[in-house]
Amino acid sequence: MTFDIRPLRESDLPEADRIYRLAFGTFMGLPDPMAFAAGADSIGTRWRAPACNAAFGAFEGETLVGSNYVANWGSFGFFGPLTVRPDYWSKGIAQRLLEPTMDTFANWGVRQAGLFTFPNSPKHLGLYQKYDFWPQRLIALTAKKVSGEVAASAAFEGSRAELIAAARAMSDTMYPGLDVSGEIDAVLDQKLGEIVTVRDGASIGAFAVCHVGPGSEAGPKAVYIKFAAAREGKHFGALLTACEALAARRGMSAVTAGVNTACHAAYRKMLAQGYRTQFTGVAMQRGNGAGYLAPDAFVLGDWR
């Protein structure tokens, strides 16, 4: 069998999305594999944000059999969801998709790269180790139910450009060049959710890139924090509360967020504030580097 690897076209998206659900649903043993991540869109939303994502497909002739997505967060990058149609597993297709993925990191000048995977799968760990990605700490995918009104502290009132500049300045202090402005633009341009902020003087003490409800990465009834950063613990706690206020205001029943347990203070703060782990993954980073993760880094994001 020969396979071509090329950028995904818009017309490939329905089949790419179908394979994504089928592959994860099959691997996880769901009774109805296609029910995986029902109501959430992690494929089209990324394809429509080319400033911070690249999308590759593996084709046998004209038939799509797998795809992968690469995210650009400035000096940091991650990839996934990487999926292959189940009847094509173990034929080397994931590895073919990882070739342009590594080239993309190099072209972007990414200094540190990571991924989220299943800690209990020798195949997944072995596959990624071939590319110098090594297992590190667990990533806790957490959720907190929200009901009734929640009062939030004051938000930043500047323009989008001012918000992006303030967010970039904050993430840059955590890891030089870390920059999620592409994610902020994607959420605002595609109306996927909102950027939640906690004001600190004239600037921000914390911000969260939040997907909200159907058609976003969150799914039908949730706010999903795709990335968040805070200067210190008090801002982080206020930020979580502000995300819960967003959920209440938008009629969502939960806030979901992934936290890397390497960020110990953030993980403990989430548990203390009522977040409960629903699923655990493991972070793998290239060269076993630390990147922006640190015990005192108040940062959220699960790299899925």
Ligand X SMILES: CC(C)(COP(=O)(O)OP(=O)(O)OC[C@H]1O[C@@H](n2cnc3c(N)ncnc32)[C@H](O)[C@@H]1OP(=O)(O)O)[C@@H](O)C(=O)NCCC(=O)NCCS
| Contacting residues toward ligand X, per CB under 6 A | 23-24, 27, 80, 82-84, 89-95, 117, 122-124, 126-127
Cβ contacts of 83 within 8 Å, gap of 6 or more: 19, 20, 23, 24, 66, 67, 68
CB of 284 to ligand X, least distance (A): 9
Residue placing its CB nearer to ligand X in the complex, 23 or 178: 23
The residue number with the shortest CB distance to ligand X is 126
Residue placing its CB nearer to ligand X in the complex, 126 or 148: 126
Sequence-ordered alpha helix ranges (H) in the chain: 13-27, 44-47, 93-108, 122-129, 160-174, 181-189, 233-249, 264-272
Half-sphere exposure of 258 (CA within 13 A, CB side): 22
Residue placing its CB nearer to ligand X in the complex, 181 or 261: 261
Beta strand 112-117 pairing with 76-79: parallel
CB of 151 to ligand X, least distance (A): 38
User: Closest Cα partner for 281 from 142, 116, 121, 123?
Assistant: 116
CB of 70 to ligand X, least distance (A): 13
Q: Rounded CA gap, 299 and 157, in Å? A: 22
CB of 74 to ligand X, least distance (A): 22
Instruction: Tell me how many degrees the CA angle 58-136-141 measures, rounded to the nearest 5.
Output: 75
**Residue 93, both tokens:** 């297709």
Residue placing its CB nearer to ligand X in the complex, 123 or 160: 123
End-to-end CA distance of the chain: 29
Residue placing its CB nearer to ligand X in the complex, 127 or 138: 127
CB of 275 to ligand X, least distance (A): 23
Residue placing its CB nearer to ligand X in the complex, 63 or 95: 95
Residue placing its CB nearer to ligand X in the complex, 1 or 151: 1
- Matching residue, tokens 């450009």: 161
CB of 67 to ligand X, least distance (A): 10
Instruction: Tell me how many degrees the CA angle 34-244-239 measures, rounded to the nearest 5.
Output: 115
- In terms of Cβ atoms closer than 10 Å to its own Cβ (0-12, 13-18, 19+), residue 177 is middle
CB of 130 to ligand X, least distance (A): 7
